[in-house]
Structure 1
Amino acid sequence: MKKQFYKLSQAFLFLVLLTFSQCKKTDVKATAPAVDIKIKNTSSFAAPGPGGGVLMQAFYWNTPAGSWWTTVNGKIAAWDAAGISAIWLPPATKGQSGGSSMGYDPFDYFDFGTYNQMGSVTTRFGNLTDLNTLISNAHSHNIQVYADMVLNHSSGGALEANPYTGTNTYTKFIPLSGKFPRTYSDFHPNNIHASDEGAFGGFPDLCHAQANVSNWVYNATYSMSRYYKNTMHYDGWRFDYVLGYGAWVVQNYVNSVGGFAVGEDWDGNAANLQNWVNATGGTSSAFDFACFYAMHSAFDSNDLTHLNDDMLLKRNAAKAVTFVSNHDTDIIGNKYSAYAYIMTHEGYPCVFYNDYETWLTKSRMNNLIWIHRTLAGGTTTNLYSASDQYIDRRNGYGAAPGVIVYFNGTDYWQQQWVTSNWANKQIKEYTGVSSWIQTVAADGRVLIQAPPHAYSIWSVTGY
């Protein structure tokens, strides 16, 4: 939704030259090796690999105006090589703010930078040709493209007398595209009901129970859903502010054209997230805000047991889109550990553009993406949980051998004996923080280590 205040998170310094202790109960210390981060990624993982795909949020708040589609288009080849399998674009049509709009104040849902209205021909991000070029290029690299759908409200209408309010309201929409004209009866209150699940920011609140609205959104052959799918060639949908209207709207939209879907249900309660997913008939995933807040508590409040908190990914991993930050919220300080968590755990991880392109070390992010795409498959088993140490095992699935991820919240190196699924095999650490090559015992037991206030990720050798 609308941009909240951004806090530029300081990139977390990865310390690899400190000492480690055998565990909290001993005084045994040794020197950990200084090893460069190892990066492994190839363009062969453009399609979802053994560990699944990775989504890129391909924008941030207040992107430079005029040529954003061209900027993103120039990133596609490199993102493909890094293992990005889909991109989420901002709302692409003309908003009330015209060429300065971030798209969350929609006026003409069919003007992708073609018509001279709201003070400009182009949108903030470019014109229709630029967008078509971007989508085509993404598809040529086997990268899917998700549209940001703002269906709760409209903005920029002209004043008209409104019999349901007894006042004049900004509810008369006559877009130059000629598509989806709206009047007061298409908003709340109207002859059907006074309100729905929620309104936002004083904008005219669309009533999806009205035939004119439902026809233009998903029902009719000329609907948005069909136009975006069949003419614009979007592959999926990110639904903005789904707390503002019924989940049945998302269900009907997705049922009309298919494609991947994820809803912005801004709720840190995992049960509520699951209930919303269920209410869509299982047609949509949800951003896992429960995981987001749990990671913030775990990594920024020095209590890793919060990684045991309830999350959508633990209830229904197939419907959980995990993330570390986005254009609306950026509160996690230890972002590297948070990305290590979502890249080694179940769910569909989403990378934020600024984290990847500006704020964090790209090679380190690529390493985590490669680990997710190649190694991190299967169910999850917790092996160790304390406020200062946390270890999970991904059990492997198909071609993905699984991983063991070790988070260390102390000021010194730690090590632990854990039980793996790799009896009698050699394992190594895949981020480069440790040079250990360990042989797993016949009973699966193996000793691993992790650096201070960071993580290590282990799997069988040979990848």
Structure 2
Amino acid sequence: MAASKPVATVEKTVEKTVSKVAEGAKKVAEEVTESPKPDLNKVVLLQAFGWDSCDKGGWYKIVKEKIPDIKAAGVTHVWLPPPSQSVSRQGYLPGQLYNLQSLYGSQEELKELLAALKEAGLVPVADIVINHRCADAQDENGVWNNYRDDVSHTGEKIDWGQWAITGDDPEFNGTGNPDTGDDYGPAPDLDHLNEDLRSHLKDWLMHLKDGIGYEGWRFDFVKGYGPGFVKEYVLDTVGEGTFNVGEYWVDLRWNGSDLDYNQNDARQTIVNWIDGTGGASSAFDFPTKGILQEAVKNCQYWRLRDENNKPPGVIGYWPERCVTFIDNHDTGSTQQHWPFPDSHVDLGYAYLFTHPGNPTIFWDHYFDHGHREVIDQLIQLRNRAGITAGSKIEILVADHDFYVARINDNVTVKLGPRYDMGDLLPKEEEGWKFALGGTDFGIWEKTA
């Protein structure tokens, strides 16, 4: 069946507020001509924490000790947890943003970690939580909506009042503008339409960059505010040509307990968000995670090809701006909200590292769950074969128990329990050799 081409749109409220938001708001995603700089096409991201890392004691020191291993593996970028004081242990309910004493360690330990990462040639990426901020004091009605700023710092003070909270937040009596995204229930949503608030947030981001040492941003819960603001925060702080990524956890389409084959709406939603940032930020490819996971769990490898013979996730639309993953601190770790099957984690990484998009390694998988050796081999293979975020892919077959794809004409990957590949088995006389394999997967590379 014919599929409509992906078309990106930018919300009107954001267009009116943020200058120079991409005017090509309705351009076809497959026709986007802007491409990232070469180094951004070769990102290997490590999520350097899990859900309970905050409880390990001295997490920044633990990561610092692992830097030689991280560098040797071929990782390029290291995503670190939210750095600010927080109501929640993990950092996702931040309060006083400039207070960088957290359960992960002290500000000095953080600065030492970032300096060591950069000395090793690794790019540190901060987890930025700016959709919402927890207040320090109650108003006359007992509502938590007044902020303190007890840490001395350059830039404007962030001892905000109710003006900083969106006026339509149902719980916190804000007096600001309407929200430009989804409501986040547990904490006050910030009014990104307010120019002063945006200026204060950019001061803080510049402090994280120049005063602490970060070089990129991972934006939390980006469905909560307009994508044009992300563009502004990136371009006015770390600047163009840096690696940044947004967490847009889009809902997939289900029929009861069965995942629908067609997830074009979900991946188009993410494409629209990326385009709304003017390409300043990539996005995590939640559709690829969900589709691959169901294919593996239920032996439904037919899911791995869309109606246009392309990968069915966002990597089938805009791979250069996709960050692929199989688990993170929310989906896996100790939360287990939406975990990838334990028995096929190696297969999941085989898919990520042989396919377009920029792949992510989850700390728990690499350092705690015994997948390090396979992941190391996959990174080496990806580098040898010259696979990048925008590599060419040809899907040769996608059947219920059998998937074969060829990437860059020099890598063939087979997924699924079917053993007999028939005529699709790469032939030694044509220059192919077996590179590595594991449970239900095999990879060949062409050497001549």
1:108 aligns with 2:96: yes
Distance 1:50 1:287 in 2: 14
1:256 aligns with 2:236: yes
1:428 alignment partner, SS class: strand
1:93 aligns with 2:93: no
Instruction: Kindly report which structure 2 residues correspond to 1:95-174, keeping only aligned pairs within 5 A, or say none.
Output: 95-97=86-88, 101-113=89-101, 123-161=102-140, 167-174=141-148
- Could you list the per-position Cα deviations for residues 39-88 of structure 1 after superposition, in whole angstroms to 9, with x for gaps in the alignment? xxxxxxxxx98982311000000213430000000111111101111110
- Cα RMSD of the aligned pairs, angstroms, is 2.2
Letter paired with 1:212: D
- Residue in structure 2 matched with residue 291 of structure 1 by the alignment: 288
Distance 1:160 1:49 in 2: 49
Whose helix proportion is higher, 1 or 2? 2
Deviation at 1:213, TM superposition (A): 1.2
2:423 alignment partner, SS class: strand
- Residue in structure 2 matched with residue 60 of structure 1 by the alignment: 50
- Residue in structure 2 matched with residue 176 of structure 1 by the alignment: 150
2:158 alignment partner, SS class: coil
- Residue in structure 2 matched with residue 186 of structure 1 by the alignment: 164
User: Which structure has the bigger radius of gyration?
Assistant: 1
Q: Which has the higher contact order (CA 8 A, sep 6+)?
A: 1
- Could you list the per-position Cα deviations for residues 394-430 of structure 1 after superposition, in whole angstroms to 9, with x for gaps in the alignment? 115xxxxx311011323xx32232397x996422111
- The runs of 5 or more residues in structure 1 that have no matched partner are 1-47, 114-122, 162-166, 397-401, 434-450
**1:198 aligned residue (165, 182, 190):** 182
Distance 2:213 2:233 in 1: 15
Distance 2:41 2:191 in 1: 40
Letter paired with 1:332: F
Distance 1:79 1:191 in 2: 46
- Could you list the per-position Cα deviations for residues 91-117 of structure 1 after superposition, in whole angstroms to 9, with x for gaps in the alignment? 0111135xxx2111111111112xxxx
- The runs of 5 or more residues in structure 2 that have no matched partner are 1-37, 168-173, 253-265, 307-311, 333-338
Letter paired with 1:75: K
Distance 1:124 1:200 in 2: 23
- TM-score, normalised to structure 2, is 0.78
- Residue in structure 2 matched with residue 399 of structure 1 by the alignment: none
**1:430 aligned residue (410, 426, 435):** 435
Instruction: Kindly report which structure 2 residues correspond to 1:36-435, keeping only aligned pairs within 5 A, or say none.
Output: 52-63=42-53, 64-97=55-88, 101-113=89-101, 123-161=102-140, 167-178=141-152, 179-189=157-167, 190-218=174-202, 223-257=203-237, 258=239, 259-267=242-250, 268=252, 269-309=266-306, 310-330=312-332, 331-333=339-341, 334-377=344-387, 378-395=391-408, 402-410=410-418, 413-418=419-424, 425-431=430-436, 433=437
Go from structure 1 to structure 2 and tell me whether the alpha carbon gap of 1:213 and 1:375 turns closer, same or farther (over 3 Å shift). same
1:283 alignment partner, SS class: coil
Q: Indicate conservation of the 8 Å contact 2:164/2:176, yes or no.
A: no
Whose strand proportion is higher, 1 or 2? 1
Letter paired with 1:308: R
Across the two proteins, how many residue pairs are aligned to each other?
Answer: 367
Deviation at 1:201, TM superposition (A): 2.9
Deviation at 1:281, TM superposition (A): 1.2
Letter paired with 1:213: L
Go from structure 1 to structure 2 and tell me whether the alpha carbon gap of 1:418 and 1:326 turns closer, same or farther (over 3 Å shift). same
Deviation at 1:242, TM superposition (A): 0.4
Deviation at 1:157, TM superposition (A): 1.8
- Could you list the per-position Cα deviations for residues 365-404 of structure 1 after superposition, in whole angstroms to 9, with x for gaps in the alignment? 21112122222523101112211111101115xxxxx311
Q: Percent identity, please.
A: 28
